[in-house]
Structure 1
Amino acid sequence: MVASSQALLRHFGFCRWGPTPWVQLAGSLKLRTGNPVSWTTVRLVTTVTLEPAGRCRWDEPVRITVRGLAPGQPVTLRASLRDEKGALFRAHARYCADAAGLLDLERAPALGGSFTGLEPMGLFWAMEPEKPLLRLVKRDVQTPFAVELEVLDNHEPRVGRLLGRVVHERDFLAPGVRREPVRAGRVRATLFLPPEPGPFPGIVDILGAGGGLLEYRASLLAGKGFAVMALAYYNYEDLPKGLENLHLEYFEEAVNYLLNHPQVKGPGVGLLGISKGGELCLSMASFLKGISAAVIINGSVAYVGGNLHYKGSGPFPGIIDIFGIGGGLLEYRASLLAGHGFATLALAYYDFDDLPKKFDMIHLEYFEEALCYMLQHSQIKGTRIGLLGISLGADICLSMASFLKNISATVSINGSGFSGHRVIHYKDSNIPPLGHDLRRVKVAFSGLLDIVDVRNDIIGGCENPCMIPIEKAQGPILFIVGQDDHNWRSELYAQIASERLQAHGKEKPQIISYPGTGHYIEPPYFPMCPASLHKLLDKPVMWGGEPRAHSKAQVDAWKEILTFFTKHLGPSPKL
């Protein structure tokens, strides 16, 4: 007796169709049909099924199942996509079907390939660029990423024929989310609004040092019920081309725009920043009003890579700081004093720029000019200035105190008190840069640069003058930290920030540290970027991280971010 093909298929489970049978390719299997021994060839149908069916958001998981395989059949699954510039990203994994010929990635572990173990979304987060040093970035959120999923017979590298294929679209705009370009005053941004009715909790989203305007994170957050502004701050349209000088007034203008928008629910907004954007969010939370909460992802607590200006500080008591016989311009002491609330002029007096190369005589007219500059400065409080000098600089200070007016106090460190024969800049109300030492760059075996230790030591700990005064922040701060961040020591910076807050009587902030996680913590299922070209160094550097741990951190961090904003900004009508 020979059973029908359809009956045999039903018996062995080969005719069970999922909710969306996207692609079906025929295979074959010989089944024994009775005595005496005889065989009949049955054409199997391989079906790749995705749940949820159809297009879904990038930050949502998808369940992948393959039906119609032979019991225990070895197969290789491949995933690939191309970004808007045509760069190819791909991953693969080896699997075996179960006894019923079913492969369910939520139950079947990967046996090798780009990852191993039970990883239902591994084919997405494990994708790597075909060309090295590329990072997957979504530049146009109005179009989806098209991920091609393929099922091939046997295990790589000995794969056989193609059994099934499906193209899975993952988008960044939830149905009804509105995208509004913002060109208001100086602000260059894009505002994403959830479906009406509002108003909604507001968030300003700032990315790192790459520049331009990236919207993918803001658009995903808008799908969760937040009104989110993706804010550009340099290298975009008519904004500055570099990071040398940034002004908080620009970011203040963006915050005010969001607060005044009829679809934004006050009284404050949240901030979300990564890397350089995290630094800027800390500065905004410290100096600006209307900030309810801030999330910092792998941000530095010291301002690096340029100067940050803000009009809202001062005036301060003034000091002129003068060093000894070495010449040039030394600022470290003046920067420390600035951290204690003094407007301090570190003054060069020879062997610097167009000043004399050698110092032979004291010309007090030069120092008097510096003194007058200080007294006339809008950020200087009072009509008198203090002097601080060491060695020859101390003697110069004593001479100034003796002959010039408007000197209220002088500190002499190891000065002689005699008229010597050799002889020492003020910055506006700025946060001085921490600085770096390129001699600390290490070269990995791969040839990539490791810059994790390139920053200068944080002298003074949490009271370092280069540190952003986060104790002025009006709302809570969440620090998200990758413990394997190779851009800088984010975990250390977060701990120092915590110490500073507590030293100033503030509550201990929430710090979430993720082992094995690198610098670029993205929304869920973005593949880890292990290395790429550094925008400022113009050289390839490593960012750190282990793919599996990094991927799990991104999923958890995204949940923590949503929970945090909901708690401190209030729930959205859509949640």
Structure 2
Amino acid sequence: MSGATPPILSVHPCQALVDETFSVVVENLPPGRPVTVRSLHQSEDKDFWEAYGHYVSDHHGTVSVSEDLSLGGTYRGKEPMGLLWSMRPVPGSRTGLRLRKVNVCAPLLVNISVYSGHENFRDIPPLVSTLVERWYMAPGVKRIEINEKGIRGTLLIPAGPGRYPGLLDLWGGGGGLNEYRAALLASHGYASLAVDYIKAAEYKTKDLQLKYFEIAFNILKEHPQVMSDRVGIIGLCLGSLIALSLAAYSTNIKPHCIICISSVLTTSSGKLIGGISEGIPERAQKTRVDENNHHIWRDVGVALLDEPSMKVEVGKINCPMLLLHGCDDQNWASLESAHEIYKMMRAAGKEHLVAKVDYPGAGHLIEPPFSPHFRATNFIPQGTKEKLIVLWGGETKAHSDAQEDSWKKILSFLQQHMYSNPSTKSKI
């Protein structure tokens, strides 16, 4: 491509939170010229992720990712954020990868480039490139490491001196300390405590008790910058089971509201105090694999729902709850669990406390918006050293739409119940 004036690539804003949209515009192209717009990110574990769309410049020599149609690539059609949500490992990468931000104090760096043509673009230098910063932690958010009373976690406090509603942030059975959702929640005005509980030295999985989470809840509640009467819980998968169990059974804490993503309703004897994994004795028999040898666990959850004694007694819950689930969840029977939760709450005369959203085509791992979709990734079950590839489910476009919509609903739900003084009816 020749010409006196080189192409101009603009990304606005070039620095933003990960849940903010951006616009990508290429100017000074020849009219009707095919180009590929590509995003490239190197993860903290040194793997490369990419997304790209094929475009044709208009009669002004301009391509706008927000307004124009992608004719092919990792996404199609008018998709303003397709360069992020359709990211996948570059060809030749290791199998079963999952992209998760570890250091929330540093941005997720994405290189946006423009290439001539639609074919073999990886083999030629880009016409123009620019670097974009995507942040989980807004300026001024404070990060505090917690290691007290047997609790290991990270507290993220919003910028400013004020007192804020609090959220106990619980991830699933993969374990580890994951801070990025808590950092993003803090960026929106919620003091958020991300807790490592699966691998906590004092509380191995088989011994895990409600007490551990009550202690973590109270650490958050007692922080001087937290509204002690406005502390809720957000949990994904196993974290949702803990949220439900605390709201139903704890006599020491009272969550102001709970958010359950891809819910788990069943455990040993219906109570968390018996340990997390003991309620799934038939795991090996109920697990199946697909044609790619990806492990599917949803049948275990379906079977356990037939055991009334293993269900958390959610009818005892008296706080508002938001249930978010993918209809193509292949990891757990979360959709069936959500319907059962609603049924049990209705039987208790408390359906007004429940807001439930089902997402057709979405899988298990409903993450913050514009995160890549992970249909199947590596997973090491607790108590083993065997690495499996677990099928989470979901179709990329539908799952990505669910992530964007569910985040809006989460923020709306929190605004309604943590900052406002609404009636107890959930309106989602």
Under a length normalisation based on structure 1, what TM-score does the superposition of the two structures give?
Answer: 0.68
Greater Cα offset, 429-438 or 211-220: 429-438
Does the C-alpha gap of structure 1 residues 199 and 560 become closer, same or farther in structure 2, counting only changes over 3 Å? same
CA deviation after TM superposition for structure 1 residue 488, in Å = 1.2
Q: Does 1:146 align with 2:106?
A: no
Letter in 1 for 2:393: G
Equivalence for 1:186: 150
Contact 1:523–1:558 (CA under 8 A) maintained in structure 2: yes
CA deviation after TM superposition for structure 1 residue 260, in Å = 1.3
Aligned pairs for 1:183-262 within 5 A: 183-236=147-200, 238-240=201-203, 242-262=204-224
Letter in 1 for 2:37: L
Deviations 1:387-415 (A, max 9, x none): xxxxxxxxxxxxxxxxxxxxxxxxxxxxx
- Find the aligned partners of 1:100 and 1:136 in 2 and give their Cα distance: 37
Q: Does 1:540 align with 2:375?
A: no
CA deviation after TM superposition for structure 1 residue 112, in Å = 0.5
Residue of structure 2 aligned with 1:51, choices 4, 8, 12: 12
Deviations 1:204-255 (A, max 9, x none): 111111111110000011111111111111224x344x42221110100111
> What's the secondary structure of 2:68's corresponding residue?
coil
CA deviation after TM superposition for structure 1 residue 103, in Å = 0.6
CA deviation after TM superposition for structure 1 residue 305, in Å = 12
> What's the secondary structure of 1:251's corresponding residue?
helix
Equivalence for 1:568: 417
Deviations 1:347-384 (A, max 9, x none): xxxxxxxxxxxxxxxxxxxxxxxxxxxxxxxxxxxxxx
Does the C-alpha gap of structure 1 residues 71 and 304 become closer, same or farther in structure 2, counting only changes over 3 Å? farther
- Find the aligned partners of 2:266 and 2:79 in 1 and give their Cα distance: 37
- Find the aligned partners of 2:241 and 2:300 in 1 and give their Cα distance: 17
- Find the aligned partners of 1:435 and 1:271 in 2 and give their Cα distance: 28
Aligned pairs for 1:452-463 within 5 A: 452-455=298-301, 457-458=303-304
Question: What is the alpha-carbon root mean square deviation over aligned residues?
Answer: 2.3
Question: What are structure 2's unaligned runs of at least 5 residues?
Answer: 422-428
- Find the aligned partners of 1:271 and 1:430 in 2 and give their Cα distance: 18
Residue of structure 1 aligned with 2:70, choices 96, 99, 110: 110
Residue of structure 1 aligned with 2:260, choices 272, 282, 296: 296
Higher relative helix content: 2
Equivalence for 1:37: none
Contact 2:114–2:128 (CA under 8 A) maintained in structure 1: yes
Residue of structure 1 aligned with 2:317, choices 463, 473, 476: 473
Residue of structure 2 aligned with 1:270, choices 204, 217, 232: 232
- Find the aligned partners of 2:132 and 2:270 in 1 and give their Cα distance: 43
CA deviation after TM superposition for structure 1 residue 101, in Å = 0.5
Q: Does 1:556 align with 2:405?
A: yes
- Find the aligned partners of 2:68 and 2:275 in 1 and give their Cα distance: 60
CA deviation after TM superposition for structure 1 residue 262, in Å = 1.2
Deviations 1:56-103 (A, max 9, x none): 111111111111111111001111111111122111221111110011
> What's the secondary structure of 1:92's corresponding residue?
strand
- Find the aligned partners of 2:275 and 2:76 in 1 and give their Cα distance: 54
Does the C-alpha gap of structure 1 residues 495 and 229 become closer, same or farther in structure 2, counting only changes over 3 Å? same
Question: What are structure 1's unaligned runs of at least 5 residues?
Answer: 1-26, 29-41, 310-427
CA deviation after TM superposition for structure 1 residue 180, in Å = 1.0
Contact 1:431–1:466 (CA under 8 A) maintained in structure 2: no
> What's the secondary structure of 1:205's corresponding residue?
strand
- Find the aligned partners of 1:214 and 1:194 in 2 and give their Cα distance: 18
Contact 1:246–1:307 (CA under 8 A) maintained in structure 2: no
Letter in 2 for 1:558: W
Under a length normalisation based on structure 2, what TM-score does the superposition of the two structures give?
Answer: 0.90
| Count of residue correspondences | 410
Equivalence for 2:359: 514
Letter in 2 for 1:541: V
Residue of structure 2 aligned with 1:498, choices 331, 342, 366: 342
Letter in 1 for 2:19: D
Contact 2:153–2:195 (CA under 8 A) maintained in structure 1: yes
- Find the aligned partners of 1:304 and 1:80 in 2 and give their Cα distance: 45
> What's the secondary structure of 2:351's corresponding residue?
coil
